[in-house]
């Protein structure tokens, strides 16, 4: 028996096959898109620390990855026998098939998303939190764009699987590609020719969508972007306009800008910070120094709410920012007044710029989210700050195109965009090459001269003694001394003198 090529090629123009292909496209695309959305929610739920949220998510993923799709299809399609009201939707094989596919695929896509979420550095969420973004804003603007880029190759592969799995929908009498082929070869017995045509239609759909999704993948890959300057107004002219006040005005208050009282923090019952109190006056520059593991970074993270205090309270301009509420014998409840978060800017040692946004996008994201000003006014402010830190010409570059020193200067400008009253610096030069340290320290020194209130955790002793009004020395989670640089230079504190014995102070 010879292969009938003419018959096979005639099937490539068959109207019924093309209509069935359109059904497969609709079914697969809808399944894929709905599963991506629901799978992301499921992935977030599985990562939740709350058992009431993560246990149902884990159970769903376990169950629907265990059930064969064929069994699920038959069950869903026949559900009206047990629940007649569902026949309104499930009597239609297309909707029954779609629902069964989504239920199944959501479990698989959730695990793909979870892989994407785990690839996003914790610092990204911390940077968003420091800028005042709430959970949904952080997910939508920071996490999802990055996680989707990581997960897209696997999601593309999952789409191809969905297209092939759609052939199982024939068991509930939906007219799709395989059913059309089965109907034809049962009439003419030309099985090989008909199945070759069926294969062509599946390969055609997969090839077209694989091409489109590969284009999307390249578009989302910021490492392929050149960071070209956008056409527009004269940036230098905008950047050199008179600047607005760099900090938020404080009305009718003359006390400390920030007051921390008896802060305590322990990890796994190991105390890392104990009974630390600190007062920072407006316009004051305070450097926090001490040996590694002394609690410096923990202190600055507590001040910004990136870590939860175990005891104590923090006030900004005399108003409660972070405190604990105690009710009887219950565990104290952590309370943060998020309205004051925008008063504090944070610069991290590892920069934590958002890699999917260019420099200008990094600066504009949080102010636009909070609606601090019209977009054009915010752009002008961004140009001014980039000019101040020497990064104006790099406004359209992406973080991966910048050196470490350049990234840190952009991070400083991003924090200043929120016009904070207080700036926190967590070892801003520790991740830099020695030759890049000075360019960042010069920017911070300029801010100090402008009277911005700053708390700086640093190992740069000469810099700390040069710019600081006070120096706080910490050891073993305690403040050992809190003095002016001159007092410490005079050797009036033996422990600090021993710490600085190998340092030549200018």
**Averaged over 340-356, what is the pLDDT?**
92
- Count of CA atoms in the C-beta half-sphere (13 A) of 202: 21
Whole-number pLDDT of residue 348: 93
- In this predicted model, what pLDDT tens digit does every residue of 198-255 receive, in sequence order? 999 999 999 999 999 999 988 888 877 766 666 555 666 666 766 655 555 555 678 8
Question: Distance between CA atoms of 359 and 222, rounded to whole angstroms?
Answer: 12
Residue 328 clears pLDDT 80, i.e. is over it: no
Residue 173 has what pLDDT? 86
pTM: 0.87
pLDDT value at residue 198: 93
Q: Could you tell me which of 6, 2, 3, 7 has the C-alpha nearest to residue 184?
A: 7
**What mean pLDDT do residues 29-41 have?**
96
DSSP notation for 327-360: -TTSPPEEEE-GGGGGGEEEE-TT----TTS-HH
Instruction: Give the Cα separation of 415 and 346 in Å (integer).
Output: 6
Mean pLDDT of 441-458: 90
> DSSP label at 396?
T
Q: Residue 360 and residue 228: Cα distance in Å, rounded? A: 12
When pLDDT is cut at 50, 70 and 90, the band that residue 498 belongs to is confident
**Residue 343, burial from CB neighbour count under 10 angstroms (0-12, 13-18, 19+):** buried
Residue with tokens 């610092």: 123
Contact, 250 vs 343, CB < 8 A? no
The dihedrals phi and psi of 477, each to the nearest 5 degrees, come to 75, 15
Q: What is the pLDDT of residue 246?
A: 54
> Do you know the residue count of the chain?
506
Query: Could you give the 3-state DSSP secondary structure of residue 91?
Result: coil
Mean pLDDT of the chain, nearest integer:
90
Q: What average pLDDT does this structure show over 427-435?
A: 84
pLDDT band for position 55 (50/70/90)?
A: very high
Q: List beta partners, residue 425.
A: 347, 456
pLDDT for residue 450: 87
Q: How far apart are CA 50 and CA 350, in angstroms?
A: 29
The closest alpha carbon to 495, from 480, 485, 477, belongs to 480
Q: What is the rounded distance in angstroms from the CA atom of residue 298 to the CA atom of residue 282?
A: 22
Domain residue spans of the chain: 5-220, 258-499
pLDDT for the residue 238: 65
Mean pLDDT of 341-367: 94
pLDDT of the residue at 491: 75
In CATH, what number does 5-220 get?
1.10.3720.10
Q: What share of the chain is helix, strand, coil (3-state, %, to 5)?
A: 60, 15, 30
Q: What is the pLDDT of residue 51?
A: 93
Per cent of the chain over pLDDT 90 is 70
Q: What are phi and psi of 209, to 5 degrees?
A: -75, -30
Closest CA to 197 of 325, 24, 366, 7: 7
477 close to 273: Cβ distance less than 8 angstroms: yes
Q: Which residue has the tokens 């590609």?
A: 177
Residue with tokens 């089965």, as numbered in its chain: 182
Place of tokens 């005639």: 10
**What are the tens digits of pLDDT across the range 102-157?**
999 999 999 999 999 999 999 999 999 999 999 999 999 999 999 999 999 999 99
pLDDT for the residue 1:
61
Farthest CA pair distance, the chain: 104
Average pLDDT of the residues in 332-355: 91
Tens of pLDDT, residues 246-288: 555 555 678 899 999 999 999 888 899 988 999 999 999 999 9
Rounded-to-integer distance, Cα 423 and Cα 276, Å? 19
pLDDT at 23 over 80: yes
What's the rounded Cα separation, in Å, for the pair 448 and 446? Answer: 5
Q: At what angle do helices 93-119 and 144-165 cross, to 10 degrees?
A: 140
pLDDT of res. 475: 92
How far CA 179 is from CA of 159, 194, 200, 455, in Å, comes to 21, 11, 15, 70
Enumerate residues 6+ apart whose C-beta is below 8 A from 215.
none
Q: What is the CATH number of domain 258-499?
A: 3.40.50.300
Worst-scoring range by mean pLDDT, 248-257, 285-294, 328-337, 351-360? Answer: 248-257
Q: State pLDDT tens for residues 62-82.
A: 999 999 999 999 999 999 999
CA–CA distance, 304 with 263 (Å, rounded to integer) = 13
* Average confidence (pLDDT) over 349-362: 94
Rounded Cα distance between 148 and 155, Å, is: 9
DSSP, res 231 = P
Per residue in 462-484, pLDDT (tens digit) is 899 989 999 999 999 999 999 99
What's the confidence (pLDDT) of residue 70? Answer: 93
Digit-coded pLDDT (tens) for 367-420: 999 999 999 999 999 999 999 999 999 999 999 999 999 999 999 999 999 999
User: Which helix H or strand E contains 323, and what residues bound it?
Assistant: strand 319-325
Structure token pair of residue 114: 């979870």
Report the alpha-carbon distance of residue 140 to residue 148 in Å, rounded: 11
């Amino acid at each position: 028996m010879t292969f009938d090529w003419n018959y096979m090629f005639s099937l490539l123009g068959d109207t019924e096959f093309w209509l069935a292909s359109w059904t497969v496209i609709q079914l697969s695309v809808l399944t894929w898109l709905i599963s991506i959305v629901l799978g992301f929610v499921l992935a977030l739920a599985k990562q939740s620390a709350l058992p009431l949220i993560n246990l149902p998510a884990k159970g769903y993923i376990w169950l629907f990855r265990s059930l064969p799709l064929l069994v699920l299809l038959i069950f869903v399609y026949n559900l009206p026998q047990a629940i007649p009201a569902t026949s309104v939707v499930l009597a239609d094989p297309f909707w029954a098939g779609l629902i069964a596919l989504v239920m199944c695929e959501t479990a698989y896509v959730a695990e793909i998303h979870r892989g994407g979420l785990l690839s996003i550095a914790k610092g990204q969420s911390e940077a968003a939190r420091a800028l005042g973004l709430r959970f949904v804003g952080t997910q939508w603007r920071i996490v999802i764009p990055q996680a989707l880029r990581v997960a897209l190759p696997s999601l593309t592969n999952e789409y191809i699987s969905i297209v092939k799995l759609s052939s199982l929908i024939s068991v509930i009498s939906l007219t799709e590609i395989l059913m059309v082929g089965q109907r034809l070869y049962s009439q003419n017995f030309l099985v090989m020719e008909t199945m070759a045509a069926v294969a062509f239609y599946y390969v055609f759909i997969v090839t077209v969508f694989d091409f489109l999704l590969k284009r999307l993948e390249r578009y989302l890959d910021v490492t392929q972007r050149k960071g070209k300057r956008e056409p527009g107004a004269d940036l230098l002219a905008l950047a050199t306009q008179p600047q607005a006040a760099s900090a938020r005005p404080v009305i009718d208050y003359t006390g400390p800008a920030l007051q921390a009282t008896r802060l305590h923090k322990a990890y796994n019952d190991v105390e890392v910070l104990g009974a630390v109190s600190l007062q920072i006056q407006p316009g004051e520059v305070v450097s926090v120094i001490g040996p590694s593991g002394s609690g410096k970074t923990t202190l600055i993270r507590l001040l910004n709410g990136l870590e939860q205090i175990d005891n104590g309270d923090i006030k900004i301009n005399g108003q409660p920012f972070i405190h604990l509420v105690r009710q009887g014998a219950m565990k104290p409840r952590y309370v943060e007044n998020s309205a004051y978060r925008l008063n504090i800017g944070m610069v991290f040692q590892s920069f934590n710029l958002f890699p999917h946004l260019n420099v200008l996008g990094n600066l504009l994201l949080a102010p636009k989210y909070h609606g601090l000003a019209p977009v054009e006014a915010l752009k002008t402010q961004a140009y001014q700050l980039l000019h101040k830190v020497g990064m104006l010409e790099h406004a359209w570059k992406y973080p991966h195109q910048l050196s470490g020193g350049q990234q840190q200067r952009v991070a400083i400008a991003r924090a200043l965009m929120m016009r904070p009253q207080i700036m926190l610096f967590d070892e801003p030069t520790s991740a830099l090459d020695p030759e890049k340290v000075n360019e960042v320290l010069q920017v911070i020194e300029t801010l100090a001269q402008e009277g911005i209130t700053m708390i700086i955790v640093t190992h740069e002793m000469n810099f700390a003694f040069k710019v600081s009004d006070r120096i706080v020395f910490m050891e073993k989670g305690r403040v050992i001394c809190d003095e002016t640089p001159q007092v410490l230079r005079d050797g009036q504190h033996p422990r600090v003198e021993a710490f600085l014995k190998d340092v030549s102070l200018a």
